[in-house]
């Protein structure tokens, strides 16, 4: 679904597969479940919370298990993953 110039307030927003252009989010929960990537351009955020559910939550749990359960090598793997996130643009 496409949203343009829409104001969201005190809502839970399912992001998967949606497009948000020049939208404003205030006191919302931004929920991503691991489906198609959302497209967000020119949006503003005030007091939002980010929630990862379903497959996205499983991925984060897996990364936590690597970080905390595989010693120095696991920590290095996850730190390098975050460094790659900081450097590389999103590939679609």
Tens of pLDDT, residue by residue over 4-44, are 999 999 999 999 999 999 999 999 999 999 999 999 999 99
Residue 50 has pLDDT above 90, yes or no: yes
Crossing angle of helices 54-69/71-87, nearest 10°? 130
- Return the number of other C-beta atoms located less than 10 Å from residue 67's C-beta: 16
Residue 66 has pLDDT above 80, yes or no: yes
Model confidence pLDDT, tens digit, residues 79-88? 999 999 899 6
Is the pTM here over 0.85, yes or no?
Answer: no
H or E element, residue 76: helix 71-87
3-state secondary structure (DSSP) of residue 53: coil
């Amino acid at each position: 679904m496409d949203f343009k110039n829409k104001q969201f307030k005190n809502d839970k927003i399912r992001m998967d597969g949606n497009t948000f252009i020049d939208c404003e989010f205030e006191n919302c929960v931004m929920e991503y479940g691991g489906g198609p990537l959302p497209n967000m351009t020119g949006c503003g955020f005030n007091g939002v919370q980010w929630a990862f559910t379903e497959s996205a939550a499983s991925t984060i749990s897996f990364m936590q298990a690597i970080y905390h359960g595989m010693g120095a090598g696991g920590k290095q793997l996850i730190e390098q993953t975050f460094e790659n996130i900081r450097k590389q643009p999103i590939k679609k």
